[in-house]
Amino acid sequence: MVFRQLFDSVSCTYSYLLAGRGGGEALIIDPVLDKVDRYLQLMRELDLRLVKAVDTHLHADHITGLGALRDRTQCITVMGERSRVDVVSMRVTDGDRLQVEGIELEVIYTPGHTDDSCSFRMADRVFTGDTLLIRGTGRTDFQNGDARAQYESIFGRLLRLPDETLVYPGHDYKGDTVSTIGEERRCNPRLQVKSIDEYVELMHNLKLANPKMMDVAVPANMKVGLQQQEIARRGWATTAEEALGIIGQPDVVLIDLRERAERERHGTIPGSVHVPYPTLPESTSAGGMLYVLAKSAGKRLLFYCAFGERSAMAVQAAQDAGLRACCHLNGGLAAWKAAGGPIVQ
Ligand SMILES: [Fe+2]
């Protein structure tokens, strides 16, 4: 396994690069915009292909690297279902499993620091974002923070993990890099409370100044969505209303780029073919399924995903691979549902 804890000294943020093996698919947690060149260099050196970039929550103290990594690697951006960002490729919720080759993260919804905070558990360790820090906990006084919810997230969820579980936080300001659940239960001063009310009282009396970057970072981090106008300008976008008129036509094939779990949870457009986004390079190259459909069978490909990000990148990749008769569903399944499009479960 490849596991790298990377540090941004300006915001004291930890980012984590994970992969099942050298030469395989990689996932990064909480990347920082200023460090994107460094991550890309490291991934080249380790021969890793970035497939997913994940933020544990909407950050207030640094600008996320999610958008830049997507633009430069065509990776899938992931955040919690409750995040107020404009667009990410995939939204996850409690109990979901986030996968890349050889790696599986279990999503634990842990609101409190913000209402979109998630932790991610992988085998012997948990990435706690700003919910549980080493000898501290994330502040709860802005961005829909809620000390009561945080108490439940920490005492009701994280501290129920085995004591030996390694804790990898989103930040550290003292130089610590890792702890364990048992160690935090015993030694974290914020957790030595006798009741939820005592915790809430403690958190309400911290009187912290706002993060220096907050006024810049929060608005920037809410607008990470892919600029899809260029795709539309080239005539490669179809609105949900237009798509309603053309599905069922014999020369059109709908291609669902989402993962199996997303299909099971949110349903699919009737008659669509499943081609998960990460398999696109092989599917669009000579002999691949999409290549054959488009080139030999003369079909028009209509890509869709959850919100239109993966499909916008897919249409570009397909066009680059020489598959000209393809477009994507603007706004994805969310727009389709809003337009009253039929769904099968
Ligand atoms: Fe935070």
pLDDT at 198: 98
Question: The dihedral of CA 294, 300, 304, 308: what is its sign?
Answer: positive
The Å distance, Cα 258 to ligand 1 centre, comes to 28
Work out the average pLDDT over 274-284.
Answer: 95
* 60 CA from centroid of ligand 1 (Å): 6
Determine the distance separating the centroid of ligand 1 and the alpha carbon of 61, expressed in angstroms.
7
The mean per-residue pLDDT over the stretch 9-20 comes to: 97
Predicted TM-score (pTM) of the model is: 0.94
pLDDT of residue 40: 98
295-312: average pLDDT: 94
Closest among 127, 117, 139 to 178, alpha carbons compared: 127
Residue 258 has pLDDT above 90, yes or no: yes
Give whole-number Cα distances, 1 to 19, 77, 162, 168, 315, in Å: 6, 22, 22, 16, 33
pLDDT of residue 135: 97
Residue 301 Cα to ligand 1 middle (Å): 41
How remote is the CA of residue 131 from the centroid of ligand 1, in Å? Answer: 8
Centre of ligand 1 to C-alpha 3, Å, is: 22
Cα within 13 Å of Cα(174), Cβ side: 8
- Expressed in angstroms and rounded, the spacing between residue 271 Cα and the centre of ligand 1 is 42
Task: Kindly provide the residue ranges of all beta strands, DSSP E only, lying in 70-197, ordered along the sequence.
Answer: 76-80, 90-92, 97-100, 103-109, 118-122, 125-129, 132-133, 136-137, 166-169, 179-180
Ligand 1 center from residue 166 Cα (angstroms): 20
* 170 Cα to the center of ligand 1, angstroms: 8
Q: What is the mean pLDDT of the chain?
A: 95
Give the pLDDT mean for 162-172: 98
Of the CA atoms within 13 Å of residue 330, those in its CB half-sphere come to 16
Q: Is the pLDDT of residue 339 over 90?
A: yes
Residue with token string 């999610």: 66
Partners of 273 in beta bridges: 255
CA of 310 to the centre of ligand 1 (A): 26
Residue 311's pLDDT is what? 97
Q: Which helix (H) or strand (E) holds 194?
A: none
pLDDT digits (tens, 9 = 90+) for 86-100: 889 999 999 999 999
57 CA → ligand 1 middle, Å: 7
Average pLDDT, stretch 145-163?
Answer: 98
Q: How far is the CA of 116 from the centre of ligand 1 (A)?
A: 10
Residue 212 has pLDDT above 90, yes or no: no
Query: Average pLDDT in the 56-78 region?
Result: 96
- Separation of CA 171 and ligand 1 centre (Å): 8
pLDDT over 70, % of the chain: 100
- Give 56 Cα–ligand 1 centroid separation in angstroms: 8
Distance CA 345, CA 343 (A): 7
Q: Is a pLDDT exceeding 90 seen at residue 195?
A: yes
Separation between Cα atoms, residue 114 and residue 35, nearest integer Å: 24
Q: Taking residues 212-224, report their average pLDDT.
A: 90
- pLDDT given for residue 87 in this prediction: 87
Distance 1 CA to ligand 1 centre (A): 27
Going by C-alpha positions, the residue among 144, 149, 155 that lies closest to residue 190 is 155
If you average pLDDT over residues 117-121, what whole number do you get?
Answer: 98
pLDDT for 299 equals: 93
Whether the per-residue pLDDT at 226 is higher than 90: the answer is no
Residue 120 alpha carbon to ligand 1 centre in Å: 15
At residue 303, the pLDDT reads 97
Between the CA of 44 and the centroid of ligand 1 the distance, in Å, is 29
Can you tell me which residue has the tokens 């914020």? 190
Interval between CA 188 and ligand 1 midpoint (Å):
18
Q: What is the pLDDT of residue 210?
A: 85
**Model confidence band, residue 209 (pLDDT cutoffs 50, 70, 90):** confident
Task: Give the distance (Å) from ligand 1 centre to CA of residue 227.
Answer: 25
CA 43–ligand 1 middle distance (angstroms)? 25
- Distance (Å) from CA 341 to ligand 1 centroid: 37
Contact 98, 54 (CB under 8 A): yes
Task: List the structure tokens of 200.
Answer: 């809430």
The answer, yes or no, to whether residue 182 has pLDDT greater than 90, is yes
The pLDDT tens digits of the residues spanning 19-50 come to 999 999 999 999 999 999 999 999 999 999 99
- Tokens 């920082």, residue located: 32
Res. 248: pLDDT tops 90: no
Tell me the percentage of the chain whose pLDDT exceeds 90.
Answer: 90
How far is the centre of ligand 1, averaged over its atoms, from the C-alpha of 143 (Å)? 9
Write down the pLDDT at residue 131: 98
pLDDT at 229: 84
Question: Residue 314's pLDDT is what?
Answer: 96
pLDDT at 317 over 90: yes
Contacts of 111 (CB under 8 A, 6+ apart): 82, 117, 146, 149, 150, 153
More confident residue, 317 or 229: 317
Pairing relationship of beta strands 103-109 and 118-122 according to DSSP bridges? antiparallel
pLDDT at 320 over 90: yes
Mean pLDDT over 138-160 rounds to: 96
Cα 270 from Cα 311, distance rounded (Å): 17
Q: How far is CA 342 from the centre of its chain?
A: 27
